[in-house]
């Protein structure tokens, strides 16, 4: 069950069983493939299928749409368990749920749900969410991709970047934000479903990333790509607002992933310190190493408490935006700090990619950037405290 006993976190028996099941899957199916997948920069689709067979992509969705009837605590436990051994696999699940299926479930028509959700929730298909552009991300006003109605079709022009799950062999579609008009002095931004294979829609070559090598990430371009008017997802003009409404959930999920990464580093460092011999004694006999590992444990504990609290608020239907920001901030710091300390404990071995701590060191940096940077989380919290100012 890991270095920290999950029974100490107020989980139900069903939640503990889920965590144990996914951790066993992670150790037996994901971890043995992690180094080769990282080295070849390939998403192992057999692992994705395995996650689908376990029902992980359907965890937070109701049974009537093909889900497992769970909640965000359940999803977070699964993502954390995967993040311990392979962040690329964990983010594939996180993005598949939060950015792929959740917008369709939350804002889609009955026809869109019936057509798209069954395969997404079963892990037979993936979908991407195209928000970020070269000149826009959190800043909706910078969106340059456009979509105009012409003879019952949306005609889309523009570009997106850093889009997860957008170019796999099982990617079904991407949902993109686009300017569809103006409302006064503001851009009207809507979200539109663009199936893979649409003429004029091009998935660019995969990025050469620092980390998350096995996660599928591409730039996208649209050159008069045409899709039916019925592919509008949600109300026209509510595209960015709808995205923001699911962003807090994504931050909780990323916090769970970061907690898993921090725990994976802790477990690896502890095992290494207990077996590595230096100057005739175990490395772990040195107080400096003991203190370093003790701090790593404290970070994992704090990060888990933070994301669990935010997830429980979300599942209870209460406001959780500030708590999601705190969880994302706390857990991403924990992952980066633990990765640095674990690499230091491993010494030269920590610089070799075949060791998990080296991959965690590279992978963890994006946790301080994606789903809102550290600075964005601080801004959210500062604004919540009433600290508004022109400098922000």
| pLDDT tens, residue by residue, 167-199 | 999 999 999 999 999 988 889 999 999 999 999
Q: Which residues pair with 186 in a beta bridge?
A: 183
Q: What is the pLDDT of residue 240?
A: 85
Question: pLDDT-based confidence at 241, cuts 50/70/90?
Answer: confident
Last residue of a domain, one of 237, 257, 278: 237
In three state form, how does the secondary structure of 115-180 look?
Answer: HHHHHHHCCCCEEEEECCECCECCCHHHCCCEEEEECCEEEEEEEEEEEECCCCCCEEEEEEEEEE
Does any domain span residue 140?
A: yes
Judgement on whether residues 115 and 164 belong to the same structural domain of the protein: no
Q: Which of the two residues, 141 and 343, has the higher pLDDT score?
A: 343
Judgement on whether residues 204 and 326 belong to the same structural domain of the protein: no
Residues in Cβ contact with 132 at an 8 Å cutoff, skipping those fewer than 6 apart: 160, 161, 162, 163
Boundaries of domain holding 43: 6-126
Last residue of a domain, one of 126, 161, 178: 126
Residue 36 pLDDT more than 50? yes
Q: What is the pLDDT of residue 3?
A: 67
356-363 vs 87-95: helix axis angle to the nearest 10? 40
Question: pLDDT-based confidence at 137, cuts 50/70/90?
Answer: low
Judgement on whether residues 56 and 31 belong to the same structural domain of the protein: yes
Q: What is the pLDDT of residue 392?
A: 46
Question: pLDDT-based confidence at 389, cuts 50/70/90?
Answer: low
Residue 72's closest CA among 256, 239, 220?
256
The average pLDDT across 299-305 equals 98
Judgement on whether residues 112 and 20 belong to the same structural domain of the protein: yes
Judgement on whether residues 116 and 143 belong to the same structural domain of the protein: no
List, for residues 87-118, the tens digit of each pLDDT value.
999 999 999 999 999 999 999 999 999 999 99
List, for residues 304-362, the tens digit of each pLDDT value.
999 999 999 999 999 999 999 999 999 999 999 999 999 999 999 999 999 999 999 99
Does any domain span residue 91?
A: yes
Q: Which residues are catalytic?
A: 371
List, for residues 45-79, the tens digit of each pLDDT value.
999 999 999 999 999 999 999 999 999 999 999 99
Last residue of a domain, one of 209, 237, 265: 237
> In total, how many domains does the chain have?
3
The average pLDDT across 366-370 equals 95
Residues in Cβ contact with 169 at an 8 Å cutoff, skipping those fewer than 6 apart: 45
CATH code, domain with 192: 2.40.110.10
């Amino acid at each position: 069950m890991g270095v920290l006993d999950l029974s100490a976190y107020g989980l139900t028996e069903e939640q503990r069983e889920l965590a144990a099941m996914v951790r066993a899957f992670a150790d037996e199916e994901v971890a043995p493939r992690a180094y080769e997948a990282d080295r070849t920069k390939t998403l192992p689709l057999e692992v994705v299928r395995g996650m689908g067979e376990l029902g992980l992509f359907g965890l937070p969705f109701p049974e009537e749409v093909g889900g497992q009837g769970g909640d965000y605590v359940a999803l977070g436990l699964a993502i954390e368990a995967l993040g311990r051994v392979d962040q690329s696999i964990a983010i594939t699940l996180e993005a598949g749920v939060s950015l792929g299926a959740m917008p369709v479930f939350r804002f889609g028509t009955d026809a869109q749900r019936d057509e798209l959700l069954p395969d997404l929730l079963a892990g037979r298909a993936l979908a991407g969410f195209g928000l970020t552009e070269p000149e826009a991300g959190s800043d909706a006003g910078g969106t340059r991709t456009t979509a105009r109605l012409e003879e019952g079709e949306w005609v889309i022009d523009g570009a997106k970047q850093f889009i997860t799950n957008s170019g796999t062999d099982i990617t079904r579609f991407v949902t993109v934000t686009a300017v569809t008009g103006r409302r006064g002095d503001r851009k009207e931004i809507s979200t539109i479903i663009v199936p893979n294979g649409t003429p004029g829609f091009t998935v660019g070559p995969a990025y050469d990333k620092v980390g998350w090598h096995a996660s599928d990430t591409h730039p996208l371009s649209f050159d008069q790509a045409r899709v039916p008017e019925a592919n509008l997802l949600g109300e026209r003009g509510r595209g960015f607002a709808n995205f923001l409404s699911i962003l807090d959930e994504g931050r909780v999920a990323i916090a769970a992933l970061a907690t898993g990464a921090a725990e994976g580093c802790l477990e690896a460092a502890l095992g290494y310190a207990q077996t590595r011999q230096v100057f005739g004694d175990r490395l772990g006999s040195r107080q400096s190493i003991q203190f370093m590992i003790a701090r790593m444990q404290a970070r994992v504990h704090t990060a888990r408490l933070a994301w669990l609290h935010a997830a429980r608020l979300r599942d209870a239907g209460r406001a959780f935006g500030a708590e999601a920001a705190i969880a994302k901030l706390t857990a991403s710091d924990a992952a980066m700090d633990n990765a640095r300390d674990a690499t230091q404990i491993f010494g030269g071995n920590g610089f070799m990619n075949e060791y998990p701590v080296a991959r965690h060191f590279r992978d963890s940096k994006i946790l301080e950037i994606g789903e809102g940077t550290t600075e964005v989380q601080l801004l959210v919290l500062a604004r919540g405290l009433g600290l508004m100012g022109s400098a922000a």
